[in-house]
Amino acid sequence: MKYGFFDDDNREYVINNPQTPWPWINYLGNEDFFSLISNTAGGYSFYKDAKFRRLTRYRYNNVPMDNGGRYFYINDNNTIWSPGWKPVKTPLDKYECRHGLSYTRITGAKNGLEAEVLFFVPLKSWCEVQKMKLTNSSSETKKIKLFSFQEWCLWNAEDDQNNLQRNFSTGEVEVDGSTLYHKTEYKERRNHYAFYHVNEAIQGFDTDRESFVGLYNEYSEPQAVLEGKPRNSHAHGWSPVASHYLEIELKAGESKELVFVLGYVENDDNDKWESKNVINKTKAKALIQRFDTSAKVNAAFDELQSYWNQLLSVYTVKSGDEKLDRMVNIWNQYQCMVTFNMSRSASFFEVGIGRGMGFRDSNQDLIGFVHQIPERARERIIDIASTQFEDGGAYHQYQPLTKRGNDAIGGNFNDDPLWLILSTTDYIKETGDFSLLDEIVPFDNDENNAKSHFEHLKASFYHVVNNLGPHGLPLIGRADWNDCLNLNCFSTNPNESFQTTENQSGGSAESLMIAGLFVMYGREYVQLCRQIGKETEAEAAQVHVDNMVQAVIKDGWDGDWYLRAYDFYGKKVGSAENEEGKIFIESQGWCSMAEIGREAGLVEKALDSVKEHLDCDYGIVLNNPAFTRYVVEYGEISTYPAGYKENAGIFCHNNPWIIIGETMLGRGDQAWEYYKKICPSYLESISDLHKTEPYVYAQMISGKDAFKPGEAKNSWLTGTAAWNFYAVSRYILGVRPQYDGLLVDPCIPKGWKGFEVVRKFRGATFKIKVANPRSVNKGVAKISVDGKLLDTNLIPVMPEGVYNVDVVLG
């Protein structure tokens, strides 16, 4: 069953049934201030860090689902309803939610009254704007009572849930006209506060939750709304909220617009107060003034749309397949930008408390957005590298507010360092900006211990070289990309973290996934060294790459596929000799992309084995057979029920590695089949089963061994977004940046007659038209630029301008 439809012209997904199988959300904000908003207006807002600067409260894993958000209650002659259906859930005469690019528009109608609310975060602004339009479509005058509602968080979202004996005594607010201020802890150690404003004189307010809702009432029936009158309450210690009360009269056919602004302000420590215990509101009032009319809001919204027009103009495709085009042109690129902002910190599956910005995650996310905002990609690379250790290791995560490494998680995930080579080389290929390599970057955020960024890459490369096991393969550490393959943990204590516990020291567990990764990005490191004239370093590094290739061929091949690992005891993992977990996707992907043993047929055999053992109707599962018992020497992977998450679930993040491997073999039909199986726009018709949003990728889809195969979880914040865009744009459509130009090397289904790509690259715009007259998968027979034939399929870097590129496959 479908719950809406794609509106490609407006780049929106339109939801016309509020009872979606899971809350379908959107993200507002592009730089410092962010909001999560569901199709019923649930969710919350924060400044930079969802843990330490959360403005509004949200309760995960609640019953009913998705309780709490930015709500409006309308009391129309004692009929009470909300535009987004929730929380009141009064049946509406009309409901529509339009999720767009960094905005959401929710419309509800009841008894001749329509309420449309546009939610967005303006560019370069620390606020969420909510523009409401009320329209009386009835034939009679309406007198309505409107209540807004937001519940404040106490900023530290973790402490907000835990330290109740303190928090129930700290809530503080101020009311100034139509602005409700939240200033809990402002007089002590905080230099920031929040506010909620409406650009209209109000007839009342509430700032104390119990007074507004009622102690034993639900959000669906606040006592103040039921009675139609506010309490004018001030929160003193108890849970602070912000609710405006407005009495509005609308004649038949009349409309009225209101602008609500949820904002965040920081003041210097010596400029915190207007007078004793009265906060300095200068910045808040200036922010309010920027959006105090509908005209100003409309102008800011137009600016936001122009921003997205520019971002999405860098890479577009016209294939004749609307599902492919909408994913490549709109939703996949949009999701890549969201993962750039959020990493894995805040979604409706990630609570924004336990995880910050991931070292490996953020490096991989970069390949999905570097073409759009290369200047911010450069900044992100430096932020990531600054958390690296001098030996090349790294903190596994860092906090977005401080940009410092997360001590609670620590490091020793031995794949982490190599991803820095991926992000850096990808950035330089996109921009031609080699100056990044000369940037002086600290180790462990210590400015007294800093070296050039190139030295950070060198440390990343040699971290693997200096941490090899008995087979000459990379030691896995706590884990590699698969955080749940914990070969040194050996945990029997349910209170331990699998990923941060190493109960067995001195282990020699080795990873074939890291081996393939090292060959792939070791070669990139070698190529980079040659590009900048470091031939001696290139030659020395090449020796280590060659040694790794031989180690994989000698001790990493199982006969029909690549092994996954060697465990603590030196036993094979991911081998036909194993009872369960005989074959894993990660090593097949990375060793195939690295083309290890291709000339001897290893790559083809491995990918054929993937098709035989791991493929299913909904994608490629991570391992097979699934684990049915807890294997203490493997760790968390064997704790999940069969078919879920890392235990034979379809972990969508690594499906593109197989897709890319297939294109390198020239098997475009197989690559395309895999691509469609996990691509959201092709799954819209099975939304009841799939559950998560039909416009963005999920991290995990239940595999063939699961109770409900095809059910998805963990949507939005996943490396799946970047890797799928990378796979389809650079390897299926085949347009990818190189140091010296733009390579055109498609690998498509034989049935495709052709396609067109517009690609902006270093100031030039290339209009690339690909024809496939001989129905081949791969192979460029002819390529010309403005009618001039090239003797290679590498388009050289060109001056600014528009160029027509004709490509014939054959």
Catalytically annotated residues: 483
Contact 38, 10 (CB under 8 A): no
Residue spans of alpha helices (H) in 596-666: 602-613, 655-665
Residue spans of alpha helices (H) in 567-719: 585-593, 602-613, 655-665, 668-678, 687-690
DSSP state letter for 353: S
Contact 682, 662 (CB under 8 A): no
Place of tokens 């092994």: 563
SS3 content of the chain, % helix, strand, coil (to 5): 30, 30, 40
For residue 474, cis peptide bond before it (omega within 30 degrees of 0): no
How is residue 783 written in tokens? 């390529």
Q: Which helix (H) or strand (E) holds 566?
A: strand 565-566
Question: Any bridge partners for residue 674, and if so which?
Answer: none
Contact 272, 198 (CB under 8 A): no
How is residue 61 written in tokens? 């894993």
Contact 247, 145 (CB under 8 A): yes
Contact 442, 428 (CB under 8 A): no
Separation between Cα atoms, residue 113 and residue 135, nearest integer Å: 6
How is residue 349 written in tokens? 């599956």
Rounded to a whole number of angstroms, the CA Rg of the chain reads 28
Beta-carbon contacts of 473 under 8 Å, excluding residues fewer than 6 positions away, are: 510, 511, 512, 514, 515, 548, 551, 552, 555, 556, 566
Q: Up-side HSE of residue 624: CA atoms within 13 Å toward CB?
A: 19
> What values do phi and psi take at 452, rounded to 5?
-65, 155
Place of tokens 């998805």: 712
Q: Tell how far CA 766 is from the center of its chain.
A: 29
Contact 37, 25 (CB under 8 A): yes
Q: Which helix (H) or strand (E) holds 546?
A: helix 535-555
The CA distances from residue 73 to 78, 85, 129, in Å, are 11, 10, 18
Place of tokens 């016309």: 16
Separation between Cα atoms, residue 254 and residue 141, nearest integer Å: 9
What sign for the dihedral angle of Cα 570, 576, 582, 585? Answer: positive
Q: What DSSP string describes 23-81?
A: --EEEE-SSSEEEEEETTSBEEEEES-TTTSEEE--BTT-SSSSB-BSEEEEEETTEEE
Neighbours of 435 (CB within 10 A): 11
Separation between Cα atoms, residue 146 and residue 153, nearest integer Å: 23
Neighbours of 637 (CB within 10 A): 27
Separation between Cα atoms, residue 722 and residue 367, nearest integer Å: 6
Torsion (CA) 7, 13, 16, 18 in degrees, nearest 10: 180
3 state SS of 760:
strand
Q: Which helix (H) or strand (E) holds 805?
A: strand 801-809
DSSP state letter for 432: -
